[in-house]
Amino acid sequence: MKRRKKRIRKSICIILILVIIIVLILIFKKDKINIELIDNLNIEVNSTITNLDLIKNNNNYKILSKEEVIDTSKLGNKDINILIEHNNKEYNYNININIVDTTIPTIEYKDYLTTTLGNEIDLLENVSVTDNSNEDIDVSIEGDYSFDKVGIYKLYYVAKDSSGNVCKKEFTLEVEDSNMVDNNTDDIIEFTTSKGFSGITKNGVTYIDGVLVVNKTYSLPDDYGNGLTSTTTNAFYKMQAASKLENLNIYLSSGFRSYSTQDRIYNNYVARDGKEAADTYSARPGYSEHQSGLAFDVNQINSTFDDSEEAIWLSNNCYKYGFILRYPKGKEDITGYKYESWHFRYVGVDLATKLYNNGDWITLEEYFGITSSYEE
């Protein structure tokens, strides 16, 4: 009997405990606040958003917090406190947001720029960048180009913000020969050299791989040229200044020559030495590099200059300033001219370094795979 009473008491206790648990669950369930947050708690930097935008107000509760704009100017985690009333009780609800920067910068630019040979322009002059980070962002240029080489260059403006977001926009730079601009574009001949370089002759002016070529095969129109290019003279002055540090005296003796000037010089040599001899050391009118505005003679224009300290220094250093020894010794059958220690041609540092060939000069004819010979 006693055992039965104990079992009854135990059962009653269990039932009471279960009732209490159920009541507590109902109370907890009744006071539970089901707050739905916005789908994405990653907020872009410097975006406009309020604390109330973080909650979907579609449940049976009242938001007591005033609407306030959240400061999103700094990257990183941020805690937002929301005061909510539910069943006459107030609750502080903390929402953690992460302020991020995933937006790439925007570049304003011109997609096609033009200039003439030797005329440097500021490729960043009309370029601007905006970004949601409000930071100052520098723009760089990606790709190879040269103001000293005719061609069409595909380049890129690149802007990168501090968060690593990169914007890359393609643009084109066209470098034209001022003597070919606005001329008749119908007179165009395209070809490929024996070394695989692309060549083009437009209105009587020939470029191979973007380099102006003048020799006994490739001539210039009689109205081409109006002086040494600014790029050529500026490079010469730098080279001249460097030579002075070595106590050397290098100076221009003959720079640009017009078609008519070369005609007079050549025919005087022919009258004196005969045509065959004159062709070994003087160019026919229209075939002289001097008319290109890219070539010149220095100091003594004869063999007395060959063994001078200036000639030796120039042969070993001119490439550093974009010049080549145009008619090296032992290359007479290739260039068509005898050795001229005083004649230099501007081609730019990159090509000049290749042709220097560690002191064993390569000619333009050898490099491009072209000839230098008159048709008659």
User: Which residues have C-beta within 8 Å of that of residue 164, sequence separation ≥ 6?
Assistant: none
Going from the C-alpha of 337 to that of each of 89, 163, 228, 334, 367, the distances in angstroms are 103, 60, 22, 8, 17
> E strands, the chain, where?
36-37, 42-44, 55-56, 62-63, 76-86, 89-100, 106-108, 112-116, 128-130, 139-142, 151-160, 166-176, 188-192, 198-202, 205-208, 211-212, 252-254, 295-298, 323-327, 340-346
- Eight-state DSSP code of residue 284: P
Rounded CA-CA distance 125/109 in Å is: 9
Tokens linked to 40 = 């994405």
Rounded CA-CA distance 84/163 in Å is: 36
Cα(first)–Cα(last) distance of the chain, in Å? 141
**310, 340, 365, 366: which is the annotated catalytic residue?**
340
Rounded CA-CA distance 166/142 in Å is: 13
Query: In the annotation, is 340 catalytic?
Result: yes
Going from the C-alpha of 202 to that of each of 62, 71, 293, 370, the distances in angstroms are 80, 62, 18, 17
What three-state secondary structure class fits 343?
strand
Inter-residue contact 272 to 265 (CB < 8 Å):
no
User: Which residues have C-beta within 8 Å of that of residue 325, sequence separation ≥ 6?
Assistant: 314, 315, 318, 341, 343, 344, 361
Rounded CA-CA distance 155/152 in Å is: 10
- Could you give the angle at the alpha carbon of 131 between the alpha carbons of 128 and 136, nearest 5°? 65
Active site residues: 340
